């Protein structure tokens, strides 16, 4: 055997010893190849689990893809590299870049590489100065298209897109505009507000769960919190002062902040908690401290401050211009409210940012999903309020699953055995993987980003 043969064996052995799969690019080669991709910058590399490499990257995007010479911004992303011979999964929360590096369920199923992409206008992936007209579903879909196109220079096998909540919505919008970019899409708990003026959420909330007494207890504790308004505001103000939080820039005042927390309580309870926590709903005779603590655990008082809301400005802007928002009646609390229609996006975005709703945008996407979309999978939670208005695929090789008893954290793993096997096999087939993937222990599913109402 010549010296080149011995060298090949030595490199392969070294890779296995450090946890890299044989056949993967040596460290200096992969970083260099990433840097050579047009628009891509390697910010750094961080330690991660054996068998993977984790890169922090940025990708240069036009602020407006229709006018690429009119300015640009750096979009943040991470790459969890497995092996260029494995499939690739692009994951987006639809919000900011995930702080964790956990592999999503599809990535684990196909034992693949994973790209986490930050949505445009979530800081720091925001043009400066920001023209908010450049924040729409087509621009964000084109961001994904450009990133996938660039990374195909290294990862030229099958691609899957995925996301949960607004990330699932974002993945569907990308497929709508660029249906041939990838081989499949797995969208978790992705709401589909086709007609913003006709919502199904009140009907859903009136029957969710298995115990009417739980729903009645939630309404009772919401009413009691408003009856004890002075005491609740005193606690809220003390907390805000201790954290340096304010209410004058976005929320308006602390009274509005309190009402937003109370109004959200029932929705958030079913979105993030569920039937198993019904016994933790305080009675209306409970102490004010108990009621305050329950609302904080369920909704989070910090969220309805200027500082809590500001990171979500791009979401509320999109909700108020294209996505739509859930209309939920405040009738059970109306006699105790000082303010009305607080949850409308216009009330949750700084006034200096102009907004105008475009009816029909979601109808166009919905029509495509029903009549043309393929290789789409939707996974929803039975008790998740967002599942009240789901996507409904209509063509072959698209699938919809409802996870029994699940909330906004629904996963394929929670499906009944036969449905789980079917869904997992479909994802692997899309990815060109014939055998079950190897799953390392200790790697949790990607956490679901808060999807505010």
pLDDT for the residue numbered 449: 59
């099958």: which residue's tokens? Answer: 158
Q: Are 43 and 34 in contact (CB under 8 A)?
A: no
Strands of 113-117's sheet, edge to edge?
40-46, 53-62, 72-81, 113-117, 88-91, 159-164, 184-188, 376-381, 399-403
**Cβ 112 vs Cβ 89: under 8 Å:** yes
pLDDT at res. 307: 97
Separation CA 404–CA 409 (nearest Å): 12
What is the predicted pLDDT for the residue at 15?
A: 39
Quick check: 315 and 449 in contact, CB under 8 A?
no
Res 450: pLDDT: 65
Instruction: State the distance between the two ends of the chain, measured CA to CA, in whole angstroms.
Output: 66
Tens-digit pLDDT profile for the chain (453 aa)? Answer: 333 233 333 333 333 333 444 455 555 599 999 999 999 999 999 999 999 999 999 999 999 999 999 999 999 999 999 999 999 999 999 999 988 889 999 999 999 999 999 999 999 999 999 999 999 999 999 999 999 999 999 999 999 999 999 999 999 999 999 999 999 999 999 999 999 999 999 999 999 999 999 999 999 999 999 999 999 999 999 999 999 999 999 999 999 999 999 999 999 999 999 999 999 999 999 999 999 999 999 999 999 999 999 999 999 999 999 999 999 999 999 999 999 899 999 999 999 999 999 999 999 999 999 999 999 999 999 999 999 999 999 978 999 999 999 999 999 999 999 999 999 999 999 999 975 544 443 334 444 556 777
Cα–Cα dist 114/217, whole Å: 43
Dist CA 188 CA 411 (whole Å): 7
Q: Is the dihedral of CA 247, 251, 254, 260 positive or negative?
A: negative
- Residue in the structure block whose two tokens are 């996870």: 403
Cβ–Cβ < 8 Å for 52, 78: no
pTM of the entire structure?
A: 0.91
Residue with tokens 């897109």, as numbered in its chain:
161
3-state secondary structure 95-113: CCCCCCCCCCHHHHHHCCE
């Amino acid at each position: 055997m010549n010296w080149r043969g011995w060298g090949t064996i030595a490199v392969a052995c070294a890779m296995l010893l450090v946890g890299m799969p044989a056949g993967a690019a040596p460290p200096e080669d992969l970083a260099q190849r990433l840097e050579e991709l047009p628009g891509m910058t390697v910010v750094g590399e961080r330690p991660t689990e054996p068998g993977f490499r984790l890169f922090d990257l940025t990708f240069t995007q036009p602020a407006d893809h229709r006018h690429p010479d009119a300015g640009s911004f750096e979009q943040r992303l991470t790459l969890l590299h497995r092996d260029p011979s494995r499939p690739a999964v692009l994951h987006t929360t639809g919000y900011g870049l995930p702080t964790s590096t956990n592999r999503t369920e599809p990535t684990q199923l196909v034992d693949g590489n994973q790209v986490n992409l930050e949505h445009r206008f979530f800081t720091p992936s925001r043009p400066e100065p920001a023209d908010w007209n450049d924040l729409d579903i087509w621009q964000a879909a084109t961001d994904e298209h450009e990133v996938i196109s660039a990374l195909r220079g290294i990862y030229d096998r099958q691609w899957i897109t995925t996301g949960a909540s607004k990330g699932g919505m974002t993945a569907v919008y990308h497929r709508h505009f660029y249906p041939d970019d990838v081989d499949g899409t797995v969208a978790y708990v992705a709401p589909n507000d086709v007609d913003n003026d006709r919502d199904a959420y009140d009907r859903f909330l009136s029957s969710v769960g298995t115990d009417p007494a739980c729903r009645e207890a939630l309404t009772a504790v919401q009413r009691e919190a408003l009856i004890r308004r002075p005491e609740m505001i005193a606690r809220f103000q003390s907390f805000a002062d201790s954290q340096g939080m304010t209410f004058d820039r976005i929320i308006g005042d602390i009274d509005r902040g309190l009402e937003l927390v109370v109004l959200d309580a029932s929705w958030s309870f079913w979105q993030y908690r569920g039937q198993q926590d019904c016994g933790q709903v305080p009675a209306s005779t409970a102490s004010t401290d108990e009621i305050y603590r329950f609302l904080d655990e369920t909704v989070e008082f910090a969220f309805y401050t200027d500082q809590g809301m500001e990171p979500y400005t791009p979401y509320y802007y999109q909700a108020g211009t294209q996505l739509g928002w859930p209309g939920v009646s405040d009738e059970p609390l109306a006699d105790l409210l000082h303010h009305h229609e607080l949850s409308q996006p216009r009330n949750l975005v700084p006034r200096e940012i102009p907004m105008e709703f475009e009816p029909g945008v979601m109808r166009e996407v919905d029509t495509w999903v029903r009549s043309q979309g393929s290789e789409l999978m939707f996974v929803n939670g039975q008790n998740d309020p967002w599942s009240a208005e789901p996507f409904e695929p209509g063509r072959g090789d698209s699938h919809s699953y409802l996870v029994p008893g699940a909330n906004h954290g629904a996963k394929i793993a929670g499906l009944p055995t036969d449905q789980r096997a079917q869904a997992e096999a479909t994802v692997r087939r899309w990815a060109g993987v014939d055998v079950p993937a190897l799953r390392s222990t200790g790697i949790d599913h990607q956490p679901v980003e808060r999807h505010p109402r």
